[in-house]
Chains A and B, each alone.
Chain A
Amino acid sequence: MAIQIETTTDPLVIGGRTFASRLLIGTGKFSSGESMRDAIDASRTEIVTVALRRVDLDSTGGPDILAFIDTSKIQLLPNTSGAADAHEAIRLARLARAMGLPAWVKLEVTPDPRYLIPDSVETLKAAEQLVADGFVVLPYINADPVLAKRLEEAGCATVMPLGSWIGSNQGLRTRDAIRIIVEQATVPVVVDAGLGAPSHAAFAMELGADAVLVNTAIAVAADPAEMARAFKEATIAGRRGYLAGLAPARESAEASSPLTGFLDGR
């Protein structure tokens, strides 16, 4: 029997809105729209990130991603991926708002396409402007306690320090800094990026994080929906462990059919 979600006693509050789930989901890297939708449903998430890209005017393109997301139950969180500086991030955020989405933005400024490590200077610059424009700003940042405080002072709704590099699935390489950020923060702390296993999410919550954001580990799992369910339960268990007083953290190769079978006889 899956763990019941505590809806009343321990809500997550961001930008004046309350949420029962402390698991946010990214929609990248899924092998199809259907597998993404099933994972979102299974996760019981209430906040899902999307990106913004130019449309290919000469084709009507595949089904619209929004067709796969029940926006009556789920808050869309447009991100500014693709932005290499504050100016581009602000431009993308304004476009997202003009789409009729509530003025929320996952602010991410990542000029380096390899590790997608956020640019702190441009992020702070963009955050100040976006807060002034009335956005609810959730900045994806390095696990830098001073930066987290500067963003808080600038009026951001949360801070979202990375656990390890995006898609690296290495869990909380930044645990010591996250402990400090959690200790000093007056806004919710969402650990975003690098959470590769449900245990990583549980650990982040045990450290006192208010929520986690997971994408790669679910999208590329052999069974994304089942992995989403696992992250949901791990997030709840970690939160419960934190509230009940603290407890103290390997990747296994998945067995699968031989990858080199195609070489037989060659």
Chain B
Amino acid sequence: MNITANGKPRALPTGATIGDFLRELGWQPEWVVVEYNGEPLERSLIPDVHLSEGDRLEVVRAVSGG
């Protein structure tokens, strides 16, 4: 299936969870926060939410800033 993550199209096996998606790219869920179809997702839910066609993800993390 196809989703959009950080503005880029990504292809995934159907039924993959957000946790799978992140880990497959080398990102541990604890490092980031995810906005799922416009709504911020509680961190604990990341591993369980199953993605479906056309979902939109924003994966964000803390960086240095004044």
Contacts and interface: CB of A to CB of B under 8 A. Distances in A.
Chains A and B directly touch (beta carbon < 8 Å):
yes
B33 interface: yes
Interface in A139-169: 166-167
Given A96-B33, A99-B33, A78 B62 contact: yes
Interface string A14-55: 000000000000111110000010000000000001111111
A97 B65 contact: no
Nearest to A78: B62
Contacts of A29: 64, 66
B66 A95 contact: no
A65 B32 CA distance: 11
Interface in B19-66: 25-27, 31-35, 40-43, 58-66
Main secondary structure of the interface of A (DSSP, over half): mixed
A95 B64 contact: no
B66 A81 contact: yes
Given A96-B33, A98-B42, A53 B63 contact: yes
Contacts of B27: 55, 57, 60
A60 B32 CA distance: 11
A76 interface: yes
Contacts, number: 97
B62 A55 contact: no
Nearest to A216: B66
Interface string A65-77: 1100000000010
Nearest to B58: A54
Most buried by B among A60, A98, A167: A98
B19 to A, nearest CB: 14
Interface string B2-29: 0001111010000000000000011100
A99 B62 contact: yes
B33 to A, nearest CB: 4
A64 interface: yes
Given A57-B6, A99-B33, A99-B43, A51 B64 contact: yes
